[in-house]
Amino acid sequence: MTAADARAAAGVMLAESDSLVRALPGLLDELSEADRQRLRLIGRDKALESGQFVWQQGDGQTGIYLIRSGRIRSYYVAPSGREVTLAYWFPGNFVGGPDLFGTGPHMWTSVAVEASQLTFLPGPALRKLALESATIAVAVAVSAVVVYWRDGQARFLEILFSDLALFVDILPKVLAACLIAAFVAVLMPRETVMRWVGAESGLLGIVIATLAGTICPGGPITIFPIAAAFVAIGADTGAAIAFITSWTLLGYARILVWELPFFGGEFVIWRTIISIPLPIVAGFLARFIAGRLAARKRSEGDGGA
């Protein structure tokens, strides 16, 4: 989300003008920059014209919408057809709250009453963000208790100290990796990488896409929209898939920050070397499969005509 609109004032209830409501803090204002970044990574921007629906009564719930600018009206359509306005929502507010917890049909309609910009946060991704660390924490706690109970205190402490030593050993690596990630993110903006992916076709295109995937900064969810955008504007499918595969297998941030601490230098170096050709293989294979599918579609089309 870009810097909250200058009219950071957030109003709820039935006031039709922002000037009538007391300023409220935005939903994200209290978060640390890091956490805001995590939310931004799963967010998708959406621009609505005046009169466009965010969703309609009876639509399935999919996630919440943060309002960055504009104004959204939520209303209930009574069986008689009368519209009952529930609230106006302003920048800093969000709409679609119940989706966070359950799924089901929306109970009311939300519509933009002026040109508005929203950030959509998909419900499942939000829930996953909240639960991610909890699952493994529970597994570790249970395992530690079982080891203590089954093998005794000595074994428990032995594992603890040897793994703590490993952890202390990797600390400088993690710090260096985070610094590298931060520097690359400012020196190599995502837009630069985007230009590369769509650059060429043929072998060169796939190799360039592979390189771009290796150095593209950002979390998991930034990659897929970039690839989708490229295919949408007509870039080569093979290159887009080489780009995704390369980011998954050779992305520097993932290797440095995650894999290195867990597996150690030798494993990671060889795993990486072995993986270097894989995105290129995937790119060519994708191109081949896409070609075959297109050919079959064509011949089916001819047969039907």
User: Within positions 44 to 63, which residues make up the interface with another protein, using CB under 8 A?
Assistant: 44
CB closer to another protein, 93 vs 214: 214
What separation in angstroms does the CA of 91 have from each of 25, 141, 199?
Answer: 10, 42, 37
Enumerate long-range contacts of 252-259, CB under 8 Å, 24 or more apart.
252/180, 252/181, 252/184, 252/214, 252/215, 253/177, 253/181, 253/184, 253/217, 256/173, 256/176, 256/177, 256/180, 256/181, 257/174, 257/177, 257/178, 257/181
Of 53 and 167, which CB lies nearer to another protein in the complex structure? 167
Does residue 130 interact with another protein by CB under 8 A? no
Comparing CB distances to another protein, the nearer of 10 and 226 is 226
Show the site string, 202-231: x = touches another protein by CB under 8 A, - = not.
Answer: ------------------xx--xx-xx--x
Check residue 192 for interaction with another protein (CB under 8 A): no
36 binds another protein (CB under 8 A): no
What token pair was written down for 286? 């994708």
Q: Does 166 bind another protein (CB under 8 A)?
A: yes
105 binds another protein (CB under 8 A): no
Question: Looking at 103, 162, 192, 299, which residue binds another protein (CB under 8 A)?
Answer: 162
Q: Which two tokens stand for residue 21?
A: 């409501």
Based on the shown chain and the rule CB under 8 A, indicate whether residue 271 belongs to the binding site for another protein: yes
- The encoded tokens of residue 70 equal 């504009």
- Of 82, 86, 81, 80, nearest in space to 107 by CA: 86
Q: CB 12 → another protein: shortest distance, Å?
A: 29
Of 12, 47, 84, 164, the residue at the interface with another protein (CB under 8 A) is 164
Interface with another protein (CB under 8 A), residue from 51, 124, 152, 202: 124
Stretch (H or E) spanning 177: helix 123-187
